[in-house]
Each structure stands twice: as structure tokens, then as C-alpha cells.
Amino acid sequence: MSELIQAVLDNNEKTDLRQFLRDLRQQEQRYLLRNEILNAFSAYCSHHEKPEQFCHGSHLGKLIAYTQEIILDEGSFCFIVRPKIASQEVFRLSEDDLTVDVMTVQELLDIRDLLVNRFHPNEGDVLELDFQPFYDYSPSIRDPKNIGKGVQFLNRFLSSKLFQDPQEWLEALFKFLSLHRHNGTQLLINERIKSQGELSSQVKKALQFVSGRPDTAAYETFRFDFQSMGFEPGWGNTVGRVKETLELLDELVDSPDHQTLEAFISRIPMVFRVVLVSPHGWFGQEGVLGRPDTGGQVVYVLDQAKSLEKQLQEDLCLAGLDVTKVKPKVIILSRLIPNSDGTRCNQRLEKVHGTDNAWILRVPFRDFNPNLTQSWISRFEIWPYLETYAIDSERELLAEFEGRPDLIVGNYSDGNLVAFLLARRLKVTQCNVAHALEKSKYLFSNLYWQDSEEQYHFSLQFTADLIAMNAANFIISSTYQEIVGTPDSIGQYESYKCFTMPELYHVVNGVELFSPKFNVVPPGVNEAVYFPYTRSEDRLPDDRDRLEDLLFTLDDPEQVYGKLDDPSKQPLFSMARLDRIKNLTGLAECFGRSPELQERCNLILVAGKLRVEDTADREEASEMEKLYRIIDEYNLHGKIRWLGVRLPKTDSGEIYRVIADHQGIFVQPALFEAFGLTILEAMISGIPTFATQFGGPLEIIQDRVNGFYINPTKLDEMAEKILEFVSKCEQNPDYWQEISSRGVERVYSTYTWRIHTTRLLSLAKIYGFWNYTSQEDREDMLRYLESLFYLLFKPRAKQLLEQHMHR
């Protein structure tokens, strides 16, 4: 990138650069982000009548296109350039002579500190956090395109090690297979096989033994013969399955490759007990959706738990472990809330509907201040209670499982921190899921953290994120861009690579994006609840009629605000929490600014509550007030319905289908969406879907093929795109159905829970195998993280607790 800057300086574009920088000085802003930089350069080109080729094809145009940020310092300009995904370079251009100097990360962070006028780098040093040394001994992905494909990389790495040093690695594999027991029962191989060499020869004998038997013969018919050869349950439930598994091992010993390694390790029965951690919010199965801090995460974790239990049952049955009476168990670990507001969130143990052995285990926060801890606490406020919560949860989990779990999956920042604390104490594989990291949702949230600390406590949250993501054995993301963004924007995890929290710490290298711990595993959609509207045989007429009335005609001020003048108009539909990021108010304003949309469509919103006095969430209250203002300002009375209801899950599935009956359109207008479960729900129901172009929807939807992208910051453009679709449907009666069918196909091919959980369990096994066979010493990393927890996180959490004690 320095060559590109030099090319600008070496020709007549240097004059344009100087003038452009002068124009920037005329602005009040000292910190410009990418869109602002592009807009400023576009204005410069327009004002100076530059040709189109100059704007986009010149050296200066290309430099501007790669520039993510410009900071205006005294006498110079700091350019933060992103030449490619997951890469950053920083340059200082002097204002007088345009000399260029490469800046260090530390210098960049010092300049950012100065912007908040609180801290000068010469007044003393600040704590620097750098995790890079802990990744130096681990294998690293080289090509950015392969970020998020960690397990594929790891399998190739492991199989190459098997090939290069077969004796050492096969000995490790033998010991690994010897380890496996469940409830005192030995699995896979017993003491009759004493070495790797014996294992190899016995596998060949066992293959000879089963080759003459019918593939369908049950394992029980030859179990004791197998035992005498050194093999215990776990290889398969039939001759055919046992033969396949042994052939994979035989091939792995003789000619290792990454596909064989993954296929074999994925069959090893080593996961029986799983914990899904989700402490904050109202976690229940009824009466919780639409409340603060619930929504998508409750749906995600419940569906994941059901699918995990089902997949574990199937895997263990295929492994032949039904003969040992093994029963898998999944526990969702959440918070018990005594003042449960009519929900079941005050029950310690609740069985997950539709499962044999999946449970919600609720553990209360300790009563430091019963006025607070007996009731719901915002996800931004719960940090002081998590350490003792983890200690109490450990005891409860050991009792419920009658032993240790095999896998702990954290969800969101708080759940991942608790997962770290539990995994550290129990020495269990830790998986992180964080589809919505707050740092990238709130602009400059780290730089100006002190201004919002009272409300959001970002110092605690971002520290918890750094601890958990570096401690995790593996991380699941829904999309590639959740990790490293797009060529034009940084990803959520990438935002933790380098940042400052002035007067608290500098993060020089916060996470290794090229680590094989990152894996893209998108969530699924619950096919029992969300299915195409055309499957009329699976729909209940009474539910359809009741929800039709609720959506279009019911006159009930307790549940609905607004009456439609013409209910037959095509419905624009959206369903989300009322918060700033979900941007339902932006959709309402888009609708209000477009008379054409109002003429042809009605707007129907499902948003949890109707009255400001019914919410304790300040952001939700603010958005409710804003929505009322928009309705009045644009006189949307008669054209909008706002449903303040908490829908049971079955109703949320049918409500999409009722909208599809009316050939409606689903609009997801979030300012940023990490993934977008509602998008999957709408698409599988058969509703043509318009979704934000910022975040995960870019990987779910293929624009104008099975859905549409919208820019929620450009309301007129958004309205035009929806109107274009409405017009096409009027001109071609089959067009709505074409998009509808393609949306359904897209979900079924890629986004099912079976695909998700099969992948998750495979990852858990492969990372378990990696941790054992590599003998990777993570203790130095974990000690460093513990230091951050006890010396940085815990004192700040204690300060917040002291504030809580006086409430």
C-alpha cells in the first residue's frame, strides 16, 4: 500500500491529494470513517469537475477506496488503510510537505486517545494487551479466504503430521482411543491391545472377522467376540457400520489424509453431556419473547438444544452404545429470576419441550442486593454476579450430570465469560458463540467508553469478550463476515484486533483472526415451527383464522395500535425488538416518506410492547416514543398496525404463513444484523424477503435471486427497491411466487439445524483430538487471561456491584 501512496505523490495527483486534505480540514470532524471519506472524496471530485475515471481509477481514487479511517492530527493526517481483508496499515502524511511515515500500532492508539482529550501519551504509559505471542506456537491459516474454515485447515495439518511422523502421531492416536470411557464403561479399545502396532494388526483382523457377516447383523451378535480381540462398544451398531469405521481407521494408519481423519474422529463417541450457557435475560419457553434481552438468542439456544440432543441420540445409537444404556444429556444453563413476572423463569429445572433429556437449569444470582438480584437485570448490568454464578453453576451441573460435561458452549459476552470460568475449572472443551458483539454495534463505543460507561459498562463487556474469545478452544460464527467483514468493512471479531479504551488499556493485538479456532457454522431454522405456507395439511385452521384477525382487523387497544383503512393491501411485515439497531422506526419512516408505498401497501409491525410505561429498557422506551412520533408526523393512521404482543413460538411460525397467504413482503431493516434468524424464518415460510446489507444477510440472501438487499440508512432508496418489487409482481403474477420458492429452497439447502449440530459435534471432537495429540500448552495463555480477569475485570465488576448495593 505504501507503493500506492508513493504513486500518488510521484505524479500530478499530489496536488489533488493536498487540496483534498485541505478540504477535510474545513470540516469540524477530526475522525472520519469510510463512508464519510468516500462521500468527502465524491464531493471533491464533483466540485473540481473530475472525470469518472479519476474518481475510481486514479491512484488517489484507489487509495481512498482502501482507506477505512482518517484522523486529523495537528499538522498531519493519519490514514488507516485496509489493503485486504484482515489486514491493516497505518501511515502519517505531514500537512506541509506530504512526507509519509509508517506508524506503529502504539502510535495509532496514542493518536486515538488524544481525540477524547482525556489522556496524553507523554503523561505516562497505559496497559498494553497483546495476545499474539500466545499464538506463535500454533498453526496459522495464511489465505484470508480460508478464515472461518479452521477445522478443514486443522485436519490437513494433523494428517500431514501423521504422514511426516507416523510413529509419534499414531502412538498419540492409540492413546487417545484408549482414553474413552463413559460412566465407568470402557469404550473403543481395551487393555488387550497394548500398543499402536497391536492396534493396527488387530484392526485388520477385526475387518476380516466382520467381512464374512451380513452388514445388517446387530453389534450385540458379535460383541463378546469383538471384546476378546480388544474392541469395546463405540465402533458401530451393525456389521456394516463397524466395518466402515474400522476401514476409516485402517486407511488413516496406512495413508492418512484430512477427509479420512475428519470422518473417523467424527465417529468417535466422546460427547455425551453438553452445556449451553445463556445467563442473561428471560430464558424460558413461553412468555419471554419480546422482553428485553431475549428474542433471537432464546430461539437459537432452544432450537440448538433440541437438535443437539436428537443428533447425540442418533450418533450414539449408530456407534452401538445403546447396548450400554448411554443417554445423552443437554443442559441450557440460565439464570433463575425469582420475580418472574408470570413466566417459568423462577423454576430451577424445566424440561425442554419435545426432548427426552434436554433441560433448562436455572441458577440464581447470589443475593448481594435482593432489590436487584430477585428481578431481571439488563445484560449490560450483570457483570458483578458472573464469577459467583459460575461457581454455583459448577456445583449444580456436576449434580445434574453426575459428572463433568464434555462440551461447554457459551452464548453472547456474558455466557462466554461464564463458559471460560467453568471450562477452566472443569478442564472441558470450550466453544464460543457470539453472533452479536456489542462493540461493532455502537459507533466509537471503545473510544468514548467513559461517556457511556454508566449505561452500558463497555469496559467490562469488551474485557470479557477478549478473555473469552482467546480462551475458547474453538469459536463458531454464523458468517464469514462476522469474523473479518467484507472488502469494504471490518468484521465483528476483527474490530477486537486493535483498539483503545483511553485511560484503561491499549489492545495491540486482541485476537488472532488467522487462528484455526474460527469456524463458520450457520444456525438452522426450526422446521417443525417454520415451514412453507403451501403446506396446508400441517396448518391449523383455527390458528390461521385467529392470527389473520390479529394481523389485519382485531380492535383491541391492549394488543394492537392502529386500524387499517384497507386490509386488502399487500402487507409489508417486520417482527423484531424495538431497539435502535433493529431499526423498526427506520422502516416506519421509510414507509412514511413514500406516498407510493402507502398507496399500495400496509405496514404491519410485531414489536413486543405498545406502552412506554410497560418497559424498563431505556432504549426500547426511546424507540417506542419515536415510533409514535413517526406515525403522527407522516399521518400513517389507517395504514399501519403495531402489534404489542408476545407470540408463542407456534404463533410466530403461523404469523409468517398468514402474511404469505396475502402475498406479503418481509422487511428486515436493521442497521446491522450479525446473522438474522427472522430472515430464515420468513424465507422458509415463503415470504419474499428484503434484508439489511450490513452484516450476515449478505451471506444468506443472493440479491434479486432469492431475496433482496436494502440499505437501511438510505430510506428513499429502500422504498424504491420495495416498490420495484411490488410493480414487478403486478406486471408478472408469477414473480412473487418465483422469489418465494427460491427463498424456501435456499434455507432447506443450507440452513437446517441438522447441518448445524452435525458440524458442531464434529468440531467438538476434532478440537478435543487436537488438544490431546498436539499437547499444545495453553497454560501460559490461560494464566494471562486469568490475570486480566482478576486484576482488570474483577475490580471494575466490584465497583459496579457497589453501585448496585445503593440502589
CATH number at residue 222: 1.20.120.1230
Q: What is the mean pLDDT of residues 351-371?
A: 95
Q: Domain for residue 210, yes or no? A: yes
Q: Domain for residue 450, yes or no? A: no
Q: What is the pLDDT of residue 686?
A: 97
- Considering the domain architecture, whether residues 638 and 735 belong to the same structural domain is answered as yes
**5-31: pLDDT as tens digits:** 888 888 889 999 999 999 999 888 899
- Considering the domain architecture, whether residues 649 and 724 belong to the same structural domain is answered as yes
pLDDT band at 763 (very low <50, low <70, confident <90, very high): very high
Q: What is the pLDDT of residue 277?
A: 98
Instruction: Give whole-number Cα distances, 46 to 21, 51, 58, 220, 789, in Å.
Output: 15, 9, 15, 80, 52
pLDDT band at 119 (very low <50, low <70, confident <90, very high): low
- Has residue 304 got a pLDDT over 80? yes
**59-83: pLDDT as tens digits:** 999 999 999 999 999 899 999 999 9
> What proportion of the chain, given as a percentage, has pLDDT over 90?
75
Q: Domain for residue 664, yes or no? A: yes
Q: 602 in helix, strand or coil? A: strand
- Considering the domain architecture, whether residues 589 and 646 belong to the same structural domain is answered as yes
Q: What is the mean pLDDT of residues 664-675?
A: 92
The 10 Å Cβ neighbour count of residue 497 is: 21
- Considering the domain architecture, whether residues 163 and 14 belong to the same structural domain is answered as no
Those residues whose C-beta lies under 8 Å from the C-beta of residue 336, and which sit 6 or more positions away, are 345, 346, 347, 348, 362, 363, 364
Closest CA to 671 of 611, 785, 598, 586: 586
> What proportion of the chain, given as a percentage, has pLDDT over 70?
98
Are 478 and 70 in contact, with CB atoms under 8 Å apart?
A: no
pLDDT band at 159 (very low <50, low <70, confident <90, very high): confident
- Boundary residue ending a domain (751, 775, 796): 751
Q: Domain for residue 559, yes or no? A: yes
Are 225 and 262 in contact, with CB atoms under 8 Å apart?
A: no
- Considering the domain architecture, whether residues 573 and 648 belong to the same structural domain is answered as yes
In one-letter notation, the amino acid at residue 245 is T
The C-alpha atoms of residue 653 and residue 182 are separated, in whole angstroms, by 39
Q: What is the mean pLDDT of residues 26-55?
A: 91
Q: Domain for residue 427, yes or no? A: no
Mean per-residue pLDDT over the chain, rounded? 92
- Considering the domain architecture, whether residues 685 and 548 belong to the same structural domain is answered as yes
Q: What is the mean pLDDT of residues 53-63?
A: 91
**87-106: pLDDT as tens digits:** 999 999 998 889 999 999 99
The C-alpha atoms of residue 413 and residue 430 are separated, in whole angstroms, by 14
Q: What is the mean pLDDT of residues 559-567?
A: 96
Domain that holds residue 220: 152-179+189-231+235-265
Q: Domain for residue 196, yes or no? A: yes
- Considering the domain architecture, whether residues 20 and 83 belong to the same structural domain is answered as yes
The C-alpha atoms of residue 102 and residue 123 are separated, in whole angstroms, by 23
- Boundary residue ending a domain (216, 246, 265): 265
Q: What is the mean pLDDT of residues 452-474?
A: 96
Closest CA to 653 of 785, 483, 778, 528: 528
Enumerate helices (H) and strands (E) in the chain, giving the number of each.
31, 25
Q: What is the pLDDT of residue 775?
A: 65
- Considering the domain architecture, whether residues 157 and 98 belong to the same structural domain is answered as no
- Considering the domain architecture, whether residues 624 and 742 belong to the same structural domain is answered as yes
Are 185 and 207 in contact, with CB atoms under 8 Å apart?
A: no
- Considering the domain architecture, whether residues 562 and 705 belong to the same structural domain is answered as yes
Classify strands 89-94 and 708-710 as parallel, antiparallel or unpaired.
unpaired
- Has residue 543 got a pLDDT over 60? yes
Classify strands 708-710 and 181-182 as parallel, antiparallel or unpaired.
unpaired
CATH number of the domain enclosing 656: 3.40.50.2000
Q: Domain for residue 256, yes or no? A: yes
Closest CA to 657 of 536, 529, 741, 533: 533
What string of DSSP letters covers 530-571?
S--TT-GGGS-HHHHHHHHHHHHT---TTTEE---S-TTSEE
Report pTM.
Answer: 0.86
Q: What is the mean pLDDT of residues 620-635?
A: 95
**637-657: pLDDT as tens digits:** 999 999 998 888 789 899 999
- Considering the domain architecture, whether residues 673 and 545 belong to the same structural domain is answered as yes
Query: Phi first, then psi: what are they for 227, rounded to 5°?
Result: -60, -40
- Considering the domain architecture, whether residues 544 and 670 belong to the same structural domain is answered as yes
Q: What is the pLDDT of residue 163?
A: 76
Q: Which three cell numbers stand for residue 16?
A: 489533488
Q: Within 13 Å of residue 751, how many CA atoms lie on the same side as its CB?
A: 30
Q: Domain for residue 770, yes or no? A: no
Number of domains in the chain: 3
What string of DSSP letters covers 705-759?
TTBEEE-TT-HHHHHHHHHHHHHHHHH-TTHHHHHHHHHHHHHHHH-BHHHHHHH
CATH number of the domain enclosing 49: 3.10.450.330
- Candidate from 134-138, 310-314, 330-334, 666-670 with smallest mean pLDDT: 134-138
Q: What is the pLDDT of residue 1?
A: 64
Length of the chain measured in residues? 807
Which residue in the block uniquely carries the three cell numbers 427463498?
743
Classify strands 570-575 and 349-351 as parallel, antiparallel or unpaired.
unpaired
Rg of the chain's alpha carbons, rounded to an integer? 29
- Boundary residue ending a domain (77, 103, 129): 103
